[in-house]
Amino acid sequence: MADSAFTFLPLGAIIQEFNIDGTNIVQGFRTQDDYVKHNSPFFGATVGRVANRLKNAQLENVNGQTYSLAANDAPNALHGGPQGWDKKVFAGPKAVSRGGKEGVFFKYVSKHGEENYPGTVEVRVWYTAGKEEGKTVLVTEYEAELVGDEVEETAVNITNHSYFNISGAPTIAGTTAQLATDLCLPLDDTSIPFGHVDRFSKVDVARPFVLGTKENEVDDCFLIETDPTKVPLDTRDQPVRLLGSFSHDDTKIHLEVYSTEPAFQFYTGNGIDVPAVNGVPARGKYAGFCVEPSRYVNAANVPAWRHMTLLKRGQVYGSKIVYKAWRDTQSAS
């Protein structure tokens, strides 16, 4: 990709740099080896085979059986397990043209039984960059197919786990955020949905609020589409909808996140704890915030939701994320 605003790594098809006018707005490390050793927060990574959590570390009623998974967020399975796709080295980056724009392509084949998930799945990732009305735009596209003949079906839910920091400082303090919805899936104390939709009550996220304070800590799943029957396995034909808008008065940097996905996890970086590594300072609480577009949390284990993550042989899973970022040079100094 000719656009020097971005760098990517084969490990986890990671977004390593997202530069806006000289400021890298994503958290990361200098080398791929540093990610291998220190990336417990999943900085920039492609997350799968199933992003977010699966209740009681189980994949239920798939191929007529229940698969036991690693409880790496006990009692639940988290982000595909301790050796999920974020830990795997993808083939790539390969320069491609996608939708008339320059991009890069990554591919990984996840074998049957990897982290005890059934079926051999090929996952494909495209990143394409461009400019739009002065904004730097990065489009992320995911695709997955069940390519093996071991089983008839498996579960897939992919997201990107970039941590954004547009403040130009060690934390996101002072960042103004506004989400496109306050509808959420209320979670139990292990972050598994109860199964109903409600309005988020801890913070008024649908109005501008400031990140980087204890009162405004969030780690919850918000819904753009509340009717699960309207969510296809491949969402790429759905409208690309705004999930959240962010800005910082000091840097004048703005970020908008869009997706075709029905839900997103919004996380204010409450638990980040990364030591100084290879000349990069330590990152702690509030070092970045995440917008993780995806399917509903634990969808594979909920009968009314499972169609959105259940991938059968001959089908294609797909999704799209769009990031738009810019510095407002018109703002008063």
Question: 329 falls in which pLDDT band (50, 70, 90)?
Answer: confident
- Long-range contacts, 166-169 (Cβ 8 Å, 24+): 166/20, 166/23, 166/25, 166/246, 166/247, 166/248, 166/251, 166/253, 166/254, 166/255, 166/325, 167/248, 167/250, 167/251, 168/23, 168/248, 168/250, 168/251, 168/253, 169/250
Q: What's the pLDDT at 90?
A: 98
pTM comes to 0.96
Q: Containing domain of residue 122, as a range?
A: 6-327
- Long-range contacts, 58-67 (Cβ 8 Å, 24+): 58/301, 59/117, 59/118, 59/155, 59/300, 59/301, 60/300, 60/301, 62/118, 62/151, 62/153, 62/154, 62/155, 62/300, 62/310, 63/118, 63/151, 63/152, 63/153, 67/116, 67/117, 67/118
Measured distance CA(52)–CA(30) in Å, rounded:
26
Render pLDDT for 278-318 as a digit per residue (tens, 0 to 9): 999 999 999 999 999 999 999 999 999 999 999 999 999 99
Percent of the chain, pLDDT > 70? Answer: 98
Cβ count within 10 A of residue 14: 27
Measured distance CA(62)–CA(300) in Å, rounded:
9
The pLDDT of 180-208, averaged and rounded, is 97
Indicate if 254 belongs to the active site: no
Inside any domain, residue 1: no
Render pLDDT for 69-120 as a digit per residue (tens, 0 to 9): 999 999 999 999 999 999 999 999 999 999 888 999 999 999 999 999 999 9
Inside any domain, residue 333: no
Catalytic choice (38, 79, 112, 161):
161
Question: 3 falls in which pLDDT band (50, 70, 90)?
Answer: low
Q: Look at the chain and report how many structural domains it folds into.
A: 1
Render pLDDT for 18-70 as a digit per residue (tens, 0 to 9): 999 999 999 999 999 999 999 999 999 999 999 999 999 999 999 999 999 99
Inside any domain, residue 225: yes
The pLDDT of 121-135, averaged and rounded, is 96
Inside any domain, residue 126: yes
Complete DSSP assignment for 70-88: --TBTTBEETT-TT-GGGS
Q: What's the pLDDT at 332?
A: 40
Name every residue whose Cβ is closer than 8 Å to that of residue 15 and which is 6 or more positions away in sequence.
Answer: 6, 8, 26, 28, 44, 127, 138, 140, 160, 162
Inside any domain, residue 24: yes
Inside any domain, residue 260: yes
Q: What's the pLDDT at 100?
A: 87
Render pLDDT for 236-263 as a digit per residue (tens, 0 to 9): 999 999 999 999 999 999 999 999 999 9
SS3 216: helix
Inside any domain, residue 332: no
Inside any domain, residue 119: yes
Say which CATH number the domain at 40 has: 2.70.98.10
